[in-house]
Copies of this chain bind each other. A is one copy, B any other.
Amino acid sequence: VRPRSSCPVNFVLETVGDRWSLLIIRDIVRYEKHTCGEFLNSDEKISANILADRLSRLVQAGILRKTPNPSDKRKDIYKLAQKGVDLCSMMLGMILWGVRYGYHIDKYYTAILPLVKKDKQGNVRSRMEEISDLAGP
C-alpha cells in the first residue's frame, strides 16, 4: 500500500494509528502478555477478530515476531521485534501526556513512571542523537 504522503507522522499513523495496535504493544511491554488469550483479557476488551487483524498487521510490519508456543502448539507467542521496541520512546511521550491530562489514571502507572523514566530517558536521548547524525550538521 502506498502511503498517503511522505510525512513521518503520517507514516506512524498509517502503521499503528488505530485505537488498538498500541494497546497490544502496551500489553506486551507493561503486562508481559504474549498470547491471544491474554490480549483478549485486557480492560479495553478488544474483539477476537480485530485482535487477529491487528496482530497480523503488526507481524507483517515487522513490529511483532510470532513464534509457536513450545508447550501448546495452538497458542502462538507474540514478542516485540526491534522495530516495536523502538516505539517505546513515543509511547513514553503518550504516557506522559495521558498522565498529565487523563481523568482516570491507573495508580500503578504512576508508581512505575520513575522506572520508565530512568530506562527510557537514555533511549530517547540516544534516538535523538542517531537522528541528528542522520540529519547531518
Interface residues in chain A, defined as those with a beta carbon under 8 Å from any beta carbon in chain B:
3-15, 17-20, 22-23, 26, 42-45, 83, 86-87, 89-106, 109-111, 113-114, 117, 121, 124-125, 127-128, 130-132, 134-137
Contact = CB atoms under 8 A, between A and B. Distances in A.
A89 to B, nearest CB: 5
Contacts of A98: 7-12
Contact of A3 (B92, B104, B113, B132): B104
A11 B106 CA distance: 11
Contact of A8 (B20, B105, B127): B105
A99 B128 CA distance: 11
A128 B97 CA distance: 10
A86 B113 CA distance: 18
B11 A101 contact: yes
Contact of A9 (B26, B104, B130): B26
Contacts of A86: 97, 100-101
Contacts of A11: 98, 101-105
A110 to B, nearest CB: 5
Contact of A10 (B23, B110, B113): B23
B97 A87 contact: yes
